[in-house]
Amino acid sequence: MPSYLVTGASQGLGFEFVRQLAANPENIVIGLVRNKVSPEAKAKAQGLNSVHFVQAQYTDLASLKAASEVVKGITGGNLNYLINNAASVSEVTELRNLGDFHTNFETLEEDLRYSFDVNVIGLIKTIEAFLPLVQAATGEKKVITISSGMSDLDLINSTDLDVAAAYAISKAGVNVAVAKYSALYKKEGILFMSICPGNIATERQTRGFTNEEDKSRLAALATKFMLFAPDWKGPMAPAESASAVLALAYRASIENGHGGSFVSRHGDRNWM
Ligand SMILES: NC(=O)c1ccc[n+]([C@@H]2O[C@H](COP(=O)([O-])OP(=O)(O)OC[C@H]3O[C@@H](n4cnc5c(N)ncnc54)[C@H](OP(=O)(O)O)[C@@H]3O)[C@@H](O)[C@H]2O)c1
């Protein structure tokens, strides 16, 4: 039975990955979460009784290694797909640019460190903890990391996209980390790649903003997205994004040049 571990599975895209994967009774599906109480209840309410939720903190290697032991017990010692979906999208700098912190630089510095710690070092710790299970797998061996087009230089430069620097810089680090892992483990037949899932109406995105300044910053960001992709119709449902990402993850291969790549859910550089 193919086995899947999805990180950040309590909500948003991560929960949707788990939901879609669990629809196939052949799959062993594990959601890695920081706290399993609420995702377990949500999964149960939706009849997703076969999904296993395992707890870990992405910034704590010991907790990830302990979770890996639990996952080993569930899968029988191997893992075909590690889907690194967890990430912090900082609310502090999400709609602000680097110049907005001239008088409060410490806030920016703290946010940059936090984003790097969770999104880059947390990713590397997660791979460190779970890679032995992927190496032990028979059949597919894929480490799929969810990145963001926000880290694409063409998108930034063509639209002067100045906001969300901490997040975008951390995702650029993610892309490089994934390429480095690919360079190291391609010869073992493990596919490492980064996929941008597109703009999705997850809980985080649909929470809305109460203050007028943030609403207008969000509208300005949407205008830039439309400049980059004039056909863009706004955020898509999580189900549409998850199925496109999974379809790409299934068809992608080292042989076809996907090792270390950073692409959209379409397999190209159309991020929207
Ligand atoms: N939504 C979009 O439009 C969009 C666009 C491009 C890329 N992405 C990427 O797609 C992935 C999923 O996005 P999403 O909108 O579903 O995100 P989300 O709900 O905000 O977060 C996804 C998961 O990341 C973990 N997480 C969030 N904040 C964290 C923190 N401060 N420290 C540690 N873990 C944290 C949580 O994991 P637990 O479940 O373990 O608590 C959460 O379930 C992310 O990698 C994101 O960067 C999203």
**Mean local confidence (pLDDT), 205-219:** 86
Tokens of 223: 């205008």
Ligand 1 within 6 A of 263 CB?
Answer: no
For residue 218, the number of C-alpha atoms closer than 13 Å in the C-beta half-sphere is 14
Does 269 fall in a domain? no
Mutate which of 5, 63, 85 for ligand 1? The one with the most ligand atoms within 8 Å of its CB, which is 85
Instruction: Count how many domains the chain has.
Output: 1
pLDDT at 206: 78
CA of 221 to the centre of ligand 1 (A): 19
Is the pTM for the entire model greater than 0.85?
yes
Does 256 fall in a domain? yes
**Mean local confidence (pLDDT), 42-60:** 97
Does 121 fall in a domain? yes
**Mean local confidence (pLDDT), 4-29:** 98
Q: Pick the residue whose CA is nearest to atom 29 on ligand 1.
A: 88
Domain of 51? Answer: 3-264
Which among 206, 208, 179 is positioned nearest to 191, based on CA atoms? 179
Where in the sequence numbering do the catalytic residues fall? Answer: 167, 171
Q: pLDDT of 150-189, one tens digit each?
A: 999 999 999 999 999 999 999 999 999 999 999 999 999 9
CA of 115 to the centre of ligand 1 (A): 12
For the stretch 126-137, what's the b/e string if a residue is b when 16 or more beta carbons lie within 10 angstroms of its beta carbon?
bbebbbebbeeb
pLDDT at 203: 84
Above 90 in pLDDT, residue 124?
yes
Give residue 42's Cα distance to chain centre.
20
Does 34 fall in a domain? yes
Q: Pick the residue whose CA is nearest to atom 11 on ligand 1.
A: 85
Q: pLDDT of 240-257, one tens digit each?
A: 999 999 999 999 999 999
pLDDT at 210: 81
Q: pLDDT of 195-210, one tens digit each?
A: 999 999 998 777 778 8
Block residue for tokens 């996907």: 258
Does 158 fall in a domain? yes
Ligand 1 within 6 A of 163 CB?
Answer: no
Q: Which atom of ligand 1 is nearest to the CA of 202?
A: 15
**Mean local confidence (pLDDT), 61-71:** 98
CA of 157 to the centre of ligand 1 (A): 25
Is-contact 59 42, C-beta < 8 A?
no
pLDDT at 71: 98
Give DSSP secondary structure letters for 43-66. HHHTT-TT-EEEE--TT-HHHHHH
Does 270 fall in a domain? no
Is-contact 43 53, C-beta < 8 A?
yes
- What are the strands of the beta sheet with 81-84, ordered from one edge? 52-55, 28-33, 3-7, 81-84, 142-146, 191-196, 262-264
**Mean local confidence (pLDDT), 73-92:** 97
Ligand 1 within 6 A of 5 CB?
Answer: no
pLDDT at 40: 98
**Mean local confidence (pLDDT), 39-55:** 97
Percent of the chain, pLDDT > 90? Answer: 95
Above 80 in pLDDT, residue 270?
yes
Does 122 fall in a domain? yes
Does 186 fall in a domain? yes
Ligand 1 within 6 A of 9 CB?
Answer: yes
CATH number where 89 lies: 3.40.50.720
pLDDT at 48: 96
Tokens of 72: 């080993």
